[in-house]
Structures are given as structure tokens and as C-alpha cells.
Amino acid sequence: MLLRRWTPPSQVPTTSLDHNGIPQRQRIIIRWCKLIISALIALTFLGFCIFYSLQKERFFNDGYRYKQQDQYEREQRLLFNTYIQDISDILLKITDKNNIDENVLLHIRTKTLIIFKNLDTKYKKDIILFLYERHLIQNNQLNLRGINLNNVELICPYDFSRLYLPEVIWSNAIFINCRLTFAILDRAYLINAKFINSTLQYTSLIDVNLDNSHFIKTIIMNTNFNGASLIQADFLQADIVQGNNFTNTDLYQAKFTYNQWEGKYINIIKHDFSNARLPNGTFQLINSEKNLIRNGNAEMEVENIFLFGQVKHLIQNNQLNLRGINLNNVELICPYDFSRLYLPDVIWSNAIFINCRLTFAILDRAYLINAKFINSTIQYASLIDANLDNSYFLKTIIMNTNFNGASFIQADFLQADIVQGNNFTNTDLYQAKFTNNQWEGKYINIIKHDFSNARLPNGTFQLINSEKNLIKNGNAEMECFANNQTIWTTIHDNMTLSTNITNNDTYWGNCSFVMSTPTRVYQNINLNSYKHLIDTNNSILSFLGYASCNQSYFEIHIFRDDNILNALKIYSKPMNYTESYRNKSMYLYGEYEYNLPIRTRNITIYFGVETFTIDHQCYFDNITLRINQSKIN
């Protein structure tokens, strides 16, 4: 048998899977996946390397900057601390802080100017506070002209009065809670400045540049902006804008409310806009008649005349009479004691007294509206009937002074140092401002004021003694047994007024007046101590008198302050009331309430008998005249 080796057939049977070629595609996909994964790994590694390098550089830079900043802060702090220590050491060696040697001040100025070139604004602010606290930039002490204070924000921790920083460069300045009374910032560069919740009062800002400045919740009063530039300055949000000197200022496009422009708040204190460029671009009317030559008529300045007169004792102790002289706008800076100054009846509106010791001074009836007393003393002075409306008392002592009859409408005592023991009898204190301690006369001890008949700040009157009889000896008791009365005056010498014994009657007293012939007597009564009550139409007069005969009468002649008869009241018929008198009837004359006309200052009371129909005597007694308040405002 022949054996053959088996061989497969030439064509191997195939399936449908073999015809699709899936294994080949899988291999391709796998290869691409491996390639992509490898690329991703490479990219991730590369990204990590780059990120790590960047982060490492960033961390290094941040650390470097932190070290640099820390080093800078340490250097700033070291400069600041060294400066403070050096200046403190210098000041410790000085005994009189108010009179520092010029060489010392020059040394401090040099150190300050040098260090300010290298300091941040926060340290500059702290140095300004330090210098102020050490009284170096107060009252013309240290000269820091030209110093750079740009962007310094000053939050004042206390009163910043008398700050002295003229000619500084301080753009974008911010003043918060700063009381800049009597500060001097003349010729300072203060563009874009902001004054917030601050006070500019009696401040000097001459020739200062305040373009684009803002005043927010700020008081601006009696400040000198002479020659300043206030282009596009914004006053709209200021609380008070009154009585400022805008002479020769540039107010182009500056913003004011109507009341601010007019100087209105509670009262009106107008500004001075002489020669100023107004917000609309026009100029305030210029006085073309003004002579620009000083003292061209060889007249002395009135301030010098004052000082001369005081030195020569001419206006002391009633020597020289200058009544009626015009001293309006005169500012008196007293170089020495001005005690016993004698200037009654002068006209002196807008007066300013600085450093004046006015002890025992006499300024009775002076016209002193808008007066300012600054760092002065008014003690044992006489200002009877003076007009001090809208006056201010700043750092001033006011003690034991006679203000009887004076007018203090809207006067401001709030900033006075001491207000004690003054005579405010019959004064007009309507809307005047006092602290509680000032009103009570408290300082270390209590010395109360006398407010009798005064109109108080709220418009009411101090309680008046309505039982006080203004007629002297109206009940015949003072000269009880005299044949002739001296307090009552007869209009003719042949007339007599005597007294009659009443046997100590409980109602009529010991004596009554008696007339036995036609007689007319009178008595003058001065009502000046009630003038404010009268002139505010709040006074009620009550006049009553008793007489025993039908022929008797009473008269009241009411005179104004210029002695012109203002009204006449005649009481010739009794009221429906009688009292028993020694088995006779005493009839009541007069009236209980009569509104006195305003300006009444004097009253003359007459009583008497014109004729006698039969020969008998006529008795008079218990004649009273009283003033009371008619209403409460």
C-alpha cells in the first residue's frame, strides 16, 4: 500500500472576521495610543518643569520683594525714630520752648527738609503731628517753607489752632476733624485739597492755591483768602460759610449755595469780594477812586494813635473824651496792659482785641457789634448799655464786668476761658451761646451772674419781681412826720404836701399824704432797667393809688428814650373799689394792666387836687407802680 503525506488544501477556508481586518486596525490604534500617551507624558513633564521654574522664580521674586519691602520699612522706621529722638534730645536741652534760638530752629529745619525727601507720607504725617505737639509749627516758630507734603492725609487728634505752615507744597491734602483756628497757611500750594468735618476760622490763607478744593461738613468763617486762587473750588457741602475775606481772589467756576454766597446761616455776616473774579468770570466792582498811595494825606494810622494815646495816659481814667469817634474795623493788638482804657460812646463795629488786658476799662454805650475778643481779659470793666451783638469771645477771661443794659444778641461765649460773676442785669441775651458752666459761673469755684430783668437766650425773661413798687415813698412812710416831702416834688413853691398820722393802721401804715390846698406833685421814674422787656413788647404796667376826695386825680406821663412824650394816662375817676380810712372812704384809681409802648424809658407820676369845693383835707396813700411780663415768647 502506498502511503502519501497529507497536505492541506491550497485554499484555507476563511470566516467573516478574517475579511474585516480588525486586528490590523487594533494594532494601529494601539500604536497611536502609545504615541499620544508618550507625548502627553512628555508634555506634562515639560509643563511641570516650566511651571516649577516659573513658580520658583516667582517665589524667589516675592521673597526678594518682601525682604526689600521689609528692609525699606526698617529703614523708614529707623529714619523716623532717629529723627524723633534727635529732635527730642534737642528740645530737652531747651528751657524756654516759646523762645528757641534761631540756630536751633535752623538745625531742626535742615534735618526736617532732608528727611522729608526720603520718607513716606504716613511718616510725614506723624512728623507734622510731632512738630505741632512740640509747639514748633505754632505761632511762627519753625520755618518749613517749601517742604513737600503732597498726598499727606492729616487726621487731627486734637485742636490744631495756630498751625504755622506757610508756603508748603501740599497737593491732594486731606484735613479730617481739624480745627484750624488762627492757622497760617499763606502762599501754600493746596490744589485738590479736601477739608472734611473741619473748621477754618480766623485762618490766614493769603495767596494760597486752592484750585479744585472741596469743603465737606466744614465751617469757614472770618478767614482771610486775600489773593487766593479758588478756581472750581466746591463749597456746596460746607456747613457754614460766613464773613470771609475774598478780596482779590479768583473764584472762577467756584460753587456756592445762595446762602453761602450771601453769608447767611442764623444771622448774616457778609463776605468781602473786592476786586475778586466771580464764579461767572466777571469781576467785582473795583473802587476806581481809591488812592493807592499810603498816608498820602499825612494822617497817622488810627491804631498808632490808640497806642500813643494809651502810652500818654490820654484815654485812661476819664482824661480824653472821644465820644462818637469812628473806629470801625480797627484791630487792636495790645503790646502791654490796657487797663483803665476810657472809650465810652465810641462807634467800633468789627473791632478786634488781641492780647488785651482790659481791666477797669470803660466802654459804656459803645457800638461794638461783631467785636472779637481774642486771648484777652475783661475784668472789672464797665460796658453799660454797650451793643455787642454777634460778638465773639475766644480764649478770653470775662469776670466781674458790668454789662447792665447791654445787648448780646447772638453773642458767642462758647470758646471763652472763664465767664464768672458778671452783671447781666437788663441785658438782651437772645440766642447768645454759653456752656452750662459759663452760664452757672463755674470754673474752679462758682461765682454766679446777675440776670435780673434780662432777656434769656431762649427769648424768655428772667423772673421779674412783679411786687416791686417803683415809686419811692408811695405810702408816705419814708418821711412819715415831715411837714414837707422831699421825694415828691411840688410844681410850685406855694404848694405843700404833708403827712397825716393814721394811728398805725395795719393797711395804711403810720402815715398818709394830705393836701389842704390845690396842689400838684410829681416823681420821675427811670425804666431803663426794663428796656429790653419794653422794647420786645412784653411789659405790663400796673398803676394804683388811693385818694379820699372826688377832686383828686393821678396822671402818668410816658416818655421815649429821646424824651418825647409817648403816651399820657389820666385817672380822674375812681375804680369801683373803696377802702375804709379813719371813718372815711379811700377810692382806688388807676388800672391793673397797661401795655407800655416800645422805647419807653421814663415815667413821671403826678397826683393832686385841682380845686376844693369845701374847706377840707384830701388824703392819698398806697400809690404803686409795678412792671411785669405780659407774655412768654
Residue boundaries of the structural domains of the chain: 54-136, 145-282, 301-463, 489-629
The pLDDT, as a whole number, for residue 18 is: 47
pLDDT of residue 543: 94
Q: What would the CATH number be for the domain defined by 145-282?
A: 2.160.20.80
Q: What Å distances lie between residue 598 and 355, 406, 473, 539, 560, CA to CA?
A: 39, 17, 27, 9, 8
pLDDT tens for each residue of 240-271: 999 999 988 999 999 999 999 999 888 888 99
Report how far residue 125's alpha carbon sits from residue 147's, in angstroms, rounded to the nearest whole number. 12
CB 197 within 8 A of CB 174: no
From the CA atom positions of the chain, what is the Rg in Å?
A: 45
Residues 6+ apart with CB under 8 A from 623: 471, 474, 475, 544, 545, 546, 554, 605, 607
For the cut 90, the answer to whether the pLDDT of residue 6 exceeds it is no
Tell me: pLDDT of 313 over 70: no
User: CATH for 489-629?
Assistant: 2.60.120.260
Same fold, 301-463 and 489-629: no
Q: Cβ of 550: how many Cβ atoms within 10 Å?
A: 13
Report percent pLDDT > 90 for the chain.
36
Mean pLDDT of the chain: 83
Query: Which tens digit of pLDDT belongs to each residue from 269-309?
Result: 899 998 888 999 888 765 555 554 455 544 445 555 555 55
pLDDT at 419 over 70: yes
pLDDT, mean of residues 394-418: 93
* Mean pLDDT computed over 480-488: 72
CATH H-level, domain 301-463: superfamily: E3 ubiquitin-protein ligase SopA (2.160.20.80)
DSSP-derived pairing of the beta strands 600-609 and 489-490: unpaired
Q: Which segment of 168-172, 305-309, 413-417, 438-442 scores lowest on mean pLDDT?
A: 305-309
What is the pTM (predicted TM-score) of this model?
0.46
> Using CA atoms, how far apart are residues 142 and 145, in angstroms rounded to an integer?
9
